Each structure stands twice: as C-alpha cells, then as structure tokens.
Homo-oligomer: A and B are copies of this chain.
Amino acid sequence: MPAEPKTSRGRASRERIVESAAELVAERGVHATSLDDVRAATGASKSQLYHYFADRDELVELAVGLRCQQALAGIAQLLGGVTTFAQLQKALRQMLKGYEEHPTGCPIGTLASEVVEQNEAARLHTVAAFAAWEGLIAQALNRMRDRGELRADAQPDVLATSMLASLEGGLLLSQIRRDAKSLRVALEAALSYVANFKTMD
C-alpha cells in the first residue's frame, strides 16, 4: 500500500519528508506534529505524503526510527572510545553538559513514552535504540574489565541496565523539574555505583 520511490527524485522527496518529520517530532513531540506541519516544513503536498506513506502512523514510525538513529550516533560517539573509568566519567559529564545546553529530555525516552501505547512499530524502534545504547555502555564496561580496571565478577550487562535507568530517570526528573540537578545527582550515583566494582591496586 505505501510506495517505494522508483526514481531518485522520488527517493529524495521521501527522504526529505522523513527528515523534516523527524526534526518536528523531536522538537515538538509526536502528538503536537500534524501532517500539515510536515507539509508546511517540507513544501510537500498532501498527495505526496500519502503517495509515500500509508498513513500518519507510518510516517511517525519512520521519523521516530530516524531520530533514534541520530541520537544513537551521538551517544556512540561519546561512549565509543571509553576504555577507562576516567573516560567514562568524562563521557557522563559531557552528557550532563549537553543536557544543560539543550535541556529537553532524553531524545529517545521522550519519544518512547509518547508512542508506547499508540504506535507499536515506533515503540519497537525505541526498544531497539535503548538496547543499542545499553550495549554501548556494556561494551565500554567490558573494555574496562578486560583492562583489569573492573573486577572480573562485575557484570557489564547488568551494570549497563542500571546505569541507563539512572540516566533516564535523571533526565526525566530534570526535564520535569526544569533543573539539571537531578540528572547530575543520578549520574554521580551511577558512576559511584560502578566504582564499587573497581579493582583496588
């Protein structure tokens, strides 16, 4: 029913629409973005929207997917090079700094809670994004363990889940309270919890 573009012109149009939608959805939220908003932002016509997408839900799904991918790219850049505790600390500090500069909530978490009961396909994108995020944290912890900085009995997967939870909770509280303090405290606690598993030499 949708329509895979057959020409490069078509592909460009479709892509432009999804990118614009992702941007709108990120800054105003899924619920507050109408098809007319997308139309206005892209200069596309109504028929284009329904030529390339089955319905609003499909466009939302793709926009959420793209946004998750973009957010994940940023996170990967922060965590990709982390091999030591000091680097982990630095990465978290940068996240905090990033939040203080653009105090919107978590780009993934915000979308996730908007679509969780409304759009199953979009929800799955956010689930995948969280899994990838958690994986990046776990990999960093694994590198720290391989390096001998973390005890052998530390469980990177479990630690990664708890770190992600602290982060998300901190972001949520800070967003609602409009005060970065909660996030700062949550991050410090998460870091300090990981520090429990450091080898002592």
22 A-B pairs (CB sep. < 8 Å): A29-B117, A31-B31, A32-B117, A109-B172, A113-B113, A113-B172, A113-B175, A116-B176, A126-B176, A130-B173, A130-B176, A161-B173, A161-B182, A164-B173, A165-B166, A165-B172, A166-B169, A166-B186, A169-B169, A189-B193, A193-B193, A196-B196
Are B29 and A176 touching (Cβ within 8 A)? Answer: no
Are B168 and A173 touching (Cβ within 8 A)? Answer: yes
The count of identical subunits is: 2
Q: How far is the CB of A142 from chain B (nearest CB, A)?
A: 17
Bound Cα distance from A106 to B175, whole angstroms: 16
Bound Cα distance from A113 to B118, whole angstroms: 15
With A105-B113, A169-B167 known as contacts, the answer to whether A162 contacts B189 (CB < 8 A) is yes
Are A189 and B165 touching (Cβ within 8 A)? Answer: yes
Bound Cα distance from A182 to B127, whole angstroms: 12
Q: Specify which chain B residues have a CB less than 8 angstroms from the CB of A176 in the assembled complex.
A: 109, 112-113, 116, 123, 126-127, 130
Q: Specify which chain B residues have a CB less than 8 angstroms from the CB of A190 in the assembled complex.
A: 162
Which of B110, B165, B177, B182 sits near A186, CB closer than 8 Å? Answer: B165
List A119-168 residues whose CB lies under 8 Å from chain B: 123, 126-127, 130, 158-159, 161-162, 164-168
